[in-house]
Amino acid sequence: MLLQQFQQHLKEDFPHLSPANNKFILAVSGGIDSVVLTDLFYKSGYDFIIAHCNFQLRGEESLRDELFMTTLKEKYNREVIIQQFNTKQYAEDNKISIQEAARKLRYDWFSVISHQLSAISFTAIAHNADDNIETMLMYLFRGTGIHGLTGMQAYDKARKIIRPLLFATRKQIAAYAEENNLGWVEDSSNLQDKYTRNFFRHNIIPLAEAQFENTRQNLQSNIQRFKDVAILYEQSVETHKKKLIEQKGNEIHIPILKLQQTQPLDTVLWEIIKPYNFHAQQLAEIKKLFDAANSSYVQSSTHRIIKNRNHFIIAPIETSEANHILIEANDKQVKFENGMLMFEKLSATSYQLSAGSNMAQMDESKIEYPLLLRKWKQGDYFYPLGMKKKKKLSRFFIDLKLSATAKENAWVIEMNKKIIWVIGYRIDERFKITPSTQEVLKISFTAAQER
């Protein structure tokens, strides 16, 4: 029955895999789960090699497990590769637990093998349904988001890993091993509660089973429900992100008022900031930015969330100031690294035309807010005042004989991907004042050294 179920699950869960076109690394510890996995792959006609990690944590027992690989090599006529690790030293050097060290060493090695052997499609790992339940409970007690409740991934495309035994219980695996007279080795550390997983396996789950007869079946069913919930959750989060987030270069811009009105705020805000190495404990601090002074920020190890008037800007930490600054209709002044911009709206009957390069005067009716203040970049173009044809800024600067430093420090004001002013040089022809202009937007630039 297990062999038939295994083959059926392979077809349903991994339809892109076939015996004819795929070769696998089987992660084999020598325990009952990985031995059964090896036998199932062999009888299903798949090509594979066996990879064994010796973490050197159990003395003679670790050596015994390594030597056991010889019997598998002879039985299945498959290549066996073995890697020894100084796991304790690695854990000390990296200040992590032994469990975490072993996990990282293991998966990193599988990745190396996969890259070295071009014929390898995936690494198969023998995690079963009971392992999955334990993993879900560990995440639940540690404190996790919805994804922690979905347990392990059967298909990890990024790391080229599959877990084809997640459907099978430990009892089913043990019955198969007995029916097929398989030999395996026992890991004595599985009997010790010092490891978190074993604590749940030997204590928490048996206590629950004493009260609820179908504990394992219910938890397994819940994992599948949580997987479905996670899909709906992701869809909802992405909808919120599309409404809130605007990507500007290497920065993220978020309108504060729209964010404040989002529900549930904490969940959506967390999903936005999580990719930038912020911690959930920082949520309260970040929400204080709503009422904080302009330019206030909260920092992660790699990024800052900066309050920039009506927006939050998530920028890389090496950026001392935002490189993309939004200008709203009611802004009177905007500071940036080159200096300060002053904004004034005048009646067409009261303004005086100025030819100064540090002042721009444009038809306000042609302006749509918010405007974007940013550094110029290669490929930028505009229609210089007095010209009917567009010109790339790179050529415009060459014609002006600007120095490399001056070009590097040039900023522009953009509206709907149209440059309306190359600050300190020239406005765009499309936004000039005409006889029909009724209101004038006047922008004055004061360089930093002049303030």
Q: Which residues are annotated as a binding site?
A: 29-34
Rounded to whole angstroms, the Cα distance separating 435 from 258 reads 38
Distance CA 442, CA 366 (A): 13
Q: Report the alpha-carbon distance of residue 150 to residue 133 in Å, rounded.
A: 9
Distance, C-alpha 301 to centroid of its chain? 15
The number of beta carbons lying within 10 Å of the beta carbon of residue 279 is 12
In 3D, which of 340, 323, 304, 295 has the Cα closest to residue 443?
340
State both tokens at 84.
Answer: 């020894």
Contacts of 384 (CB under 8 A, 6+ apart): 391, 396, 426, 428, 429
Cα angle value 430/350/348 (rounded, 5°): 30
Q: Please enumerate, by residue number, every residue annotated as part of a binding site for ATP.
A: 29-34
Q: Which two tokens stand for residue 244?
A: 């809130």
| Other Cβ atoms within 10 Å of 384 Cβ, number | 19
Rounded CA-CA distance 228/42 in Å is: 33
In angstroms, rounded to a whole number, what is the distance separating the alpha carbons of residues 304 and 297? Answer: 6
Q: Which residue has the tokens 């912020």?
A: 278
Contacts of 338 (CB under 8 A, 6+ apart): 409, 411, 423, 447, 448
Helix (H, G, I), strand (E, B) or coil at 332: coil
Measured distance CA(414)–CA(382) in Å, rounded: 10
